[in-house]
Amino acid sequence: MSNSWAPFTFKSNAGEAQGISSEYWELILEKLNAKNKNVFFDNFSDQLEGIKNKENDLIFSVGETPQRKEYALFSKEYVRFPISIVTKKDENFIESFSSIIGKKIAIGNNFTAHNILKNNYPNLEFILVDSVKKGLDLVSKNKAYAYIDIKPVLFYNIAKYEYTDLKISGNTGADFSLKFMIRDDYPILESILNKAISSISLNELNTIITKWNNIQFQTTFNYDLFWKIAFIILLILLAFVHRTRTLKKLNSKLKITIEEKTQKLNEINKNLESLVEQKSQELLQKENILNHQSKMAAMGEMIENIAHQWRQPLSVISTVATGAKLKKELGLLKDDDFYETMNIINNSSQHLSNTIDDFRNFFNNDKEVVLFNIDIPIEKVLYLISTKLKNRNITVIKNCKEIFVTGLENEFIQVILNIINNAMDAFENKKNNHKFIFIDAYKEKNNVLIKIKDNAGGIEKNIIDRVFEPYFTTKHKSQGTGIGLYMSLEIIKKHMNGNLTVCNKNYTYKNIEYSGAEFIIEIPCEK
């Protein structure tokens, strides 16, 4: 008999046979006044092998199938039960077995229900399991849609293992007829058993079935689990107490540390204000020094430009004055010659005076923020350095729109002058047949872009990222301070809320390829 085919046959904790079929077999033995020896098996396949090999005589809870009839005899039916379907509780009632064909269905391997359905549906594939519990587990864990077995088996095991999420949702349409299975060389035993089955009343049979249908399971108290849980809780409590004491000690140490750090922090805060003020003054002094050095550098550039501007008018004055003196000494000076000479000297003197006014306006310390057209300061710069550009054969190509910005106009002039002076210096020791400086100014969205580029070959890659650093210069110390571009960046950023960048660029002008540095001034335009 089977160890675990409840509620038909199974082995009790005391090692005795129990279940519907076991009690029915006891009635048979009582009617026949006979005795037997129970042999228990872990699986049903081993039971069948015992009959086939004639190692055992009888199985008293089995269903008849064509395969089994090849090696065994069967008594008449002593009870019949439907083969039912178990699913999850949220599934609908199954009206017919055909409605679940194609879904994952679990069934006991070589169980009678398996053999009956296999004969009825030879092409149907099942998930085969070794026990009822394994089949119910697959359904509970959504690994199978349904499990199929005899209805009392399903009721019993669902209650025993407390599958609260499962239910019997329908029947397969097939019935399981319980019979006695006898080894085929004992035909006389078949006749004896059939007579005994006929002698048992329906009332006696129903009493046994009713008893096992109404069985209630009571969960026994698991003391082993209880003490394990109690031990774990005790460990947690001890750990909590230890942690609480440790935290208390740490909090005390932390409180002392915080008080010490707070005291030090208060001392630092006392000196922080004076330290910040001191550093601020130092920064202001450094910035003033840089501004002063930038002005001195620009003044040096302007004095050089004044010299270039004055050289020609002074030469003219000197020439005509010397000519008039010579004619006077030779007695050849006429009145017309005298007046013409005086006019030339006067015009040249006026030009010198105007030049002084232009350069004096450049050094004006006016810090008033005004709205100005960017083309005007650019033109002033080009006028101030026109002689130097001419002497160095540099052509300026300007394309500027009438665009207004807000800022310090004189400081903007200084930025443009610094950039163009750097461009002119870049042409030194360059054998360019054509020297160009391009100035383009235009609007782009809400910004004004002023691009100044040359064709002097560009800035070396290893220094291009440093050109805006203070005191960085590629010139000899006697020729440059290295603060011109630094101050230009400061003016554009701080006083005009813009930005100044530089890059090397390749471009084409009149079908000729050129390369050079391009400075880009980006400032917000006046709305």
Write the CB contacts of 431 (distance below 8 Å, at least 6 apart in sequence). Answer: none
Residues 491-506 have pLDDT tens digits of 888 888 899 999 999 9
Nearest C-alpha neighbor of 330 from the set 318, 322, 342, 340: 322
Lowest mean pLDDT among 272-276, 326-330, 346-350, 358-362: 358-362
pLDDT the model gives residue 450: 93
Return the structure tokens found at 504.
């090397």
Average pLDDT, the chain: 82
Q: How many residues does the chain have?
A: 527
Query: pLDDT band at residue 476, thresholds of 50, 70 and 90?
Result: very low
Lowest mean pLDDT among 52-61, 310-319, 397-406, 459-468: 310-319
- In the predicted model, is pLDDT for residue 188 greater than 70? yes
Residues 81-119 have pLDDT tens digits of 898 999 999 988 888 888 888 889 999 888 878 888 888
Where does 92-203 show beta strands of DSSP type E? 105-108, 127-129, 146-150, 166-183
pLDDT the model gives residue 85: 92
This prediction's pTM: 0.39
- Going by their DSSP bridges, the two strands 435-444 and 72-74 should be labelled as unpaired
Task: Report which secondary-structure segment, H or E, holds 472.
Answer: none
Work out the average pLDDT over 462-470.
Answer: 84
Q: What percent of the chain has pLDDT over 90?
A: 18
Residues 308-335 have pLDDT tens digits of 556 656 766 777 778 777 877 888 878 7
User: How would you list the strands of the sheet with 394-400, edge to edge?
Assistant: 394-400, 435-444, 447-454, 512-524, 499-509
152-156 long-range contacts (CB < 8 A, ≥24 apart) are: 152/7, 152/8, 152/20, 152/81, 152/209, 152/212, 152/213, 153/5, 153/6, 153/7, 153/8, 154/84, 154/86, 155/213, 156/6, 156/7, 156/212, 156/215
d(CA 128, CA 108): 6
Contact 10, 19 (CB under 8 A): yes
Residues 228-264 have pLDDT tens digits of 888 899 889 888 888 888 888 888 888 888 888 888 8
Return the structure tokens found at 400.
């500027």
Contact 453, 519 (CB under 8 A): yes
Q: Which of 11-15, 282-286, 400-404, 506-510 has the highest mean pLDDT?
A: 506-510
d(CA 16, CA 10): 8
Give the CA dihedral 366, 370, 371, 376, nearest 10 degrees.
Answer: 0
How many other C-beta atoms lie within 10 A of the C-beta of residue 490?
Answer: 20
How many other C-beta atoms lie within 10 A of the C-beta of residue 86?
Answer: 28
